[in-house]
Amino acid sequence: MPRKRWTAQTEVTPSLLKFREKRKWQIALRRYLLERNPCVSYAPYFGLDIESFRKWIEMQFTEDISWESFGQNWQFDHIIPVTYFDFADDDELTLCWNFTNIRVETIQNNKDRGNRVDVLMAKDYFGNLYKETGYEVCQELLRKIERIEIAEIIPTTNQKAFILQHKDYLKHIEGFTSYEFELLNSGRDIEEVKKEAELIKKLGR
């Protein structure tokens, strides 16, 4: 009886599923624009026919960028990165892959930026587009940015409590020198540190 061939099993995690889904969309976008493949299932999410979308991209070309240099000098990039969108939500997909959220990005700049959204830049970009054109998708993307901002606000309840609890202490040590902090960190209390600092001042006169 022949043995079954062993194959490595990759654990299917939510992040792996999202990566695979993202990869499918990236491939579809490239086929749509680079190969002029109709990509029937994906086209409605892009919001433009192939030739109009290609013109949108071409408007962003600089002297050293062309269709032929794709993958070497530049690639497609999201103004609001893919990681901020819920791929299980059809409305989110429509915003994520809309042509207004797709831009030309040099490969080096993309590496430097990573997967973080530049909130101020994105707000200005979609705000200006909506103001000048009235294109509703831009307004929806502005709302998306607002939701991202709210989600990324760092909770400050504990921080506020700490500062209020130590307000007098913070006032006392405000302006301490490196020597005074050295005394504090050696276990001296504030009064001892102040007395020693005062003594050193007198001796230094």
Q: What is the pLDDT of residues 114-132, one digit of tens each?
A: 567 788 899 999 999 999 9
Residue 1 vs residue 52, higher pLDDT: 52
pLDDT of residue 110: 58
Instruction: Using pLDDT thresholds of 50, 70 and 90, give the confidence band for residue 199.
Output: confident
Pull the structure tokens for residue 70. 């794709």
Residue 19 vs residue 92, higher pLDDT: 92
